[in-house]
Amino acid sequence: MTKISSLGYPRLGENREWKKLIESYWAKKISSEELAAGAKKLRLAFLKKQLDAGLDFVPVGDFSLYDHILDLSVQFNIIPKRFADQTIDIDLYFAIARGNKDNVASSMKKWFNTNYHYIVPEWSKQKPKLTNNRLLDLYLEAREVVGDKAKPVITGPITYVALSTGIEDFTAAVKSLLPLYKQIFTELTQAGASYIQVDEPIFVTDEGEKYLEAAKSVYAYFAKEIPQAKLIFQTYFEALIDAQILSQLPVAAFGLDFVHGLEENLEAIQSGVFKDKEIFAGLVDGRNIWASDFTRTSELLKELKANAAEIFIQPSCSLLHVPVTTKNETDLEPVLRHGLAFADEKLREIRLLAERLDGKENSAYDQHLAHFAALQAADFRNVELENLDHVATKRHSDYAKRRELQQERLHLPLLPTTTIGSFPQSQEIRKTRLAWKRGEISDQAYHDFINAEIERWIRIQEDLDLDVLVHGEFERVDMVEFFGQKLAGFTTTKWGWVQSYGSRAVKPPIIYGDVQHIEPITIKETVYAQSLTDRPVKGMLTGPITITNWSFERTDIPRDQLFNQIGLAIKDEIKLLEDAGIAIIQVDEAALREGLPLRKDKQKAYLDDAVHAFHIATSSVKDNTQIHTHMCYSKFDEIIDSIRALDADVISIETSRSHGDIIKSFETAVYPLGIGLGVYDIHSPRVPTKEEVVANIERPLRQLSPKQFWVNPDCGLKTRQEAETIAALKVLVAATKEVRQKLGK
């Protein structure tokens, strides 16, 4: 009998119970004991669901109260130096992630090329030690529900150190952790764990090449010290960087991604290097929501079975990256709904694939084939689109000329101040929006409410003395979902929530057909806001690459075609804003870096396609219309040439959590356009001091010209509270004025 496994399960819950539990603790509505009890209840419920789905190996340790990498850091005593004297408890845990009144939060980065963010471990002079064997506790708890099907899951030592900051000696850092992993693995094995999943995704990246020798020594150590431990060397998101070497590691099994690393991993299997190894085969896409192609996958399974000691079927990665279940999405068109698979449906898929591989006939398998075929044949997938031949893909003039014309129109001071776009979405805003959606208030009442919020925040911004204003985006639930509700070719779900960072959840729209602009999207609110003030109000749009990367995208056409379709749609909206007199239009590409392939040999094509789509969206504007863009947590030095090639008049980027480390990527000689480096961290509830913000402004001015520098927070302010937002922006404006005075302006 072919066995089935999973790598991890969504934490949020069907109705975001996890998010509500954690935020209740942050709001001091429940005690730490109630938080622990609530978390345990959710963990056990998730385990039971996976057991009932027929899993032979149920992941344990994937559940977290914030982030699984932060869990390891606290467990290993890798506590940032500024928090070092505090008691290790749940409040310290959250303080590292979110900051507190005394200390800034740790850096947050994207988990490889996904929209999940992890908290970066900070090493200094700490001596790693095991503060508690958390994984053992969770394993013993899980056994009460799933018995010997419990499979402990932990990020491996090489990936953990590779994702850390402050490492002076990589080898020494890894070596310092090995006794801790040994203790964890020994105690788990003694408690009955048949397999232990050790996640080492760093070995699907180019960076993994330099850690191959480390892999040999680390896993040889484990094989010698704890030979009884059956380790699964688990990777995902791409193919192994060097299957020839890694296949020789003395581990019981390898977890390989046959969705995103199909060609190379299949070639490695066919070469015979894994013929004596067990393979946990990732055959169902753990990152997208489309039903699997059973015909193709069943053929692939036969090929794998012929070239490995034993095959176990599982998703390609943790199901953390998809919503929980489609069962509540009753409003979706039936052909589309039956063509989707969220986490629970993916577990059903792997069971059906295993049964078919074992020769068992099942009507559910045949029904799945019929649903898949119906979606492929649906006529809503393809429509006639605008010809790209006559679309501008380059601005009329170069930046120097454009800047001169824009300054004549805008009359902005040195170091202009602005925000990224969104303002706090209060409980009142969310309740009013929900009442409108339920039909409890009229369209007019809802729009009057939104206009009142826009006016209130325009006045707040004027009182703060910000230079460039925004309307606040109170009508938008999310910067991508909002556009998905307005463009043809998209649909949105009721409960398709996915964790992004901490308790922050997003609801990605689904791109199921060809994309078109069919109605004004942002005009009404933007033009109304501009009518209230003499200061420029930015039009706020999301760019084609970010819309794609933060959606569940269709996979039946090449990605560059999808980028271009959305670029055309955004171009049409920009034209409406420009015709309405909006002088500054921001086209956010927050997720441009996120979609970057993990292998360098695949990156250029992606970046070229991304830049081209951005040009399609933005190049038709007049020279005196100022185009802004915004990007989130990224390794900007890797893509600086492409960022420059976007030719946006102003880019705003996160830098506060990076403590200014990325400024060198944007030295004047390298980046000659306008730039706003986020001067305080909006993901933390703390209000920065004026001294901190002054320092964050002055540091880049050592390398950047004041003429190209803008001052802004590092991201949108939607998730913050009103009082802290106003207080922080007061500091931002006061700090900017102080620096202007120092510059003699």
Binding-site positions for L-methionine:
420-422, 473, 588
Q: What is the DSSP string of 324-374?
A: S-STT-TTS-HHHHTTB--HHHHHHHHHHHHHHHTT---HHHHHHHHHHHH
All residues at 6 or more sequence positions from 330 whose CB lies less than 8 Å from its CB, including other chains: 337
Phi, psi of 132 (to 5 degrees): -170, 155
**Cα–Cα distance measured from residue 53 to residue 355, given in angstroms and rounded to the nearest whole number:** 13
CA-closest candidate to residue 556, choices 344, 327, 338, 288: 288
Instruction: Collapse the DSSP code of 404 into the 3-class scheme (helix H, G, I; strand E, B; otherwise coil) and give the result.
Output: helix
**Cα–Cα distance measured from residue 504 to residue 244, given in angstroms and rounded to the nearest whole number:** 40
- Bind-site residues for Zn(2+): 630, 632, 654, 715
∠ CA 75-93-29, nearest 5°, is 135
**Cα–Cα distance measured from residue 55 to residue 59, given in angstroms and rounded to the nearest whole number:** 9
CA-closest candidate to residue 460, choices 447, 451, 449, 471: 471
- Provide the β-strand partners of residue 503: none
Burial class (CB in 10 A: 0-12, 13-18, 19+), 578: middle
Element (H, E) at 59: strand 58-60
- Bind-site residues: 16-19, 110, 115, 420-422, 473, 550, 588, 594, 630, 632, 654, 715
Q: Which two tokens stand for residue 61?
A: 């340790």
All residues at 6 or more sequence positions from 534 whose CB lies less than 8 Å from its CB, including other chains: none
**Cα–Cα distance measured from residue 679 to residue 711, given in angstroms and rounded to the nearest whole number:** 7
The dihedral over CA atoms of 723, 725, 731, 733, expressed in degrees to the nearest 10, equals -120
Q: Is the dihedral of CA 263, 266, 270, 275 positive or negative?
A: positive
CA-closest candidate to residue 501, choices 669, 245, 682: 682
Residue 155 gets which letter from DSSP? E
Q: What is the DSSP string of 531-551?
A: HT-SS-BEEEEE-HHHHHHTS
Q: CA end-to-end span of the chain, whole Å?
A: 76
**Cα–Cα distance measured from residue 676 to residue 715, given in angstroms and rounded to the nearest whole number:** 11
Residue 207 gets which letter from DSSP? G
All residues at 6 or more sequence positions from 115 whose CB lies less than 8 Å from its CB, including other chains: 321, 498, 500, 506, 549, 550, 591, 594
**Cα–Cα distance measured from residue 100 to residue 714, given in angstroms and rounded to the nearest whole number:** 18
**Cα–Cα distance measured from residue 659 to residue 696, given in angstroms and rounded to the nearest whole number:** 8
Q: Is 683 annotated in the active site?
A: yes
- Bind-site residues for L-homocysteine: 420-422, 473, 588
- Bind-site residues for 5-methyltetrahydropteroyltri-L-glutamate: 16-19, 110, 115, 550, 594
Residue 504 has a CB neighbour count (10 Å cut-off) of 12
CA-closest candidate to residue 11, choices 76, 53, 61, 56: 61
Instruction: Collapse the DSSP code of 733 into the 3-class scheme (helix H, G, I; strand E, B; otherwise coil) and give the result.
Output: helix
**Cα–Cα distance measured from residue 640 to residue 620, given in angstroms and rounded to the nearest whole number:** 23
- Provide the β-strand partners of residue 151: 59
CB 275 within 8 A of CB 304: no
- Which of 260, 338, 615, 683 is flagged as catalytic? 683
Just list the catalytic residues: 683
